[in-house]
Homo-oligomer: A and B are copies of this chain.
């Protein structure tokens, strides 16, 4: 028998936000969004119990299958990060963009378009409404800018004074051939951990801080917990990467997705 907890889904305001959301007149294909694949709302506790809020950028092809954000390569890196803070369960992760992006230079300028901003801020307000979030971390510049835009609102200004916040690099900022090395990414994340770890008040598991070394260890790339994913998804979807790929015309919102069991 398999006995796997699964995400029983969003409740309350979170549920409403998963039922009523902006469409492709807001996230336009002509603006670089892959809206045909549908929105990816969150990963983690969309039920008011989250203590940590993480903000990422946008969902990719893996997330179009799991229907939860930050569940591919970037997601497993983020999972290791939040577990180093002691949050093994009480986190909520959302993205700055509800839909995937196929062209960043076209899409990123729309970060704070009125309808994009309003819907994202509704998520952030819902996240803070229960009064439990104590730690906020953004991964990458669009996520940081999304947080900044929220803190410019009355609610955002109010809650931002009550939390520990840190801006971290995007989980895959160390792209091959890019300006940021793996070592630089991990040093950046170590600074974030050193800033946030002492302020954690309600960890799921109290844990001494162990910083990253020169590279991610296997233990620092934990599987995505089954409790974060829909019922019935199998272990290979949680503990391996790159099983979903864009199979044709990847620079286009109509790109196919091919799923290969590792």
Nearest-neighbour CB distance to chain B for A145, whole angstroms, equals 24
CA distance A65 to B61 in the complex (A): 13
- Docked-complex contact A19 and B3, CB < 8 angstroms: yes
Interface pair B2/A23, CB less than 8 Å apart: yes
User: CA of A255 to CA of B38 in the docked complex: distance in angstroms?
Assistant: 25
**Which one of A9, A18, A19, A20 has the highest number of Cβ atoms from chain B below 10 Å of its Cβ?**
A19
Report if A236 contacts B (CB, 8 A).
Answer: yes
Assuming the contacts A41-B232, A259-B259, asked whether A4 and B19 have C-beta atoms less than 8 A apart, the reply is yes
Point out the residues of chain B lying under 8 angstroms from A247, CB to CB.
247, 258
Query: In the complex, which residues of chain B have a beta carbon less than 8 angstroms from the beta carbon of A260?
Result: 256
Output the least CB separation between A61 and chain B (Å).
9
Report whether B18 and A6 are in contact in the complex, using a CB–CB cutoff of 8 Å: yes
In the complex with contacts A41-B231, A258-B247, A19-B6 CB distance below 8 A: yes
Assembly CA distance A50 to B67 (angstroms) = 26
Q: Which residue of B lies closest to A256 (CB)?
A: B260
| A-B contact sample (17 more), CB < 8 A, given A8-B15, A38-B237, A67-B232 | A1-B20, A1-B23, A2-B22, A3-B20, A4-B19, A10-B231, A18-B232, A21-B232, A36-B261, A37-B234, A38-B233, A40-B232, A41-B231, A65-B65, A230-B230, A254-B261, A258-B258
